[in-house]
Amino acid sequence: MASTKRPEAQVGLMEGPAELPRKNGELVFEAPWEGRAFGLAVAMSERQHYAWEEFRQRLIAQIAEAEACGARSTYYERWLAALESLLVGQGMVTAEELDARTAEIAAGEREEHDHH
Helix, strand, or coil here: 63?
helix
Q: Per residue in 17-48, pLDDT tens?
A: 778 888 888 889 999 999 999 999 999 999 99
Range 54-66 average pLDDT: 95
pLDDT attached to residue 62: 96
Q: Per residue in 6-18, pLDDT tens?
A: 666 677 667 777 7
> Is the pLDDT assigned to residue 105 strictly greater than 70?
yes
**Is residue 46 within 8 Å of 52, Cβ to Cβ?**
no
Distance, CA of 90 to chain centre: 15
Q: Is the pTM of this model over 0.85?
A: no
pLDDT attached to residue 44: 95
pLDDT attached to residue 3: 54
**Main-chain phi, psi angles of 23, to 5 degrees:** -140, 120
Contacts of 29 (CB under 8 A, 6+ apart): 35, 38, 76
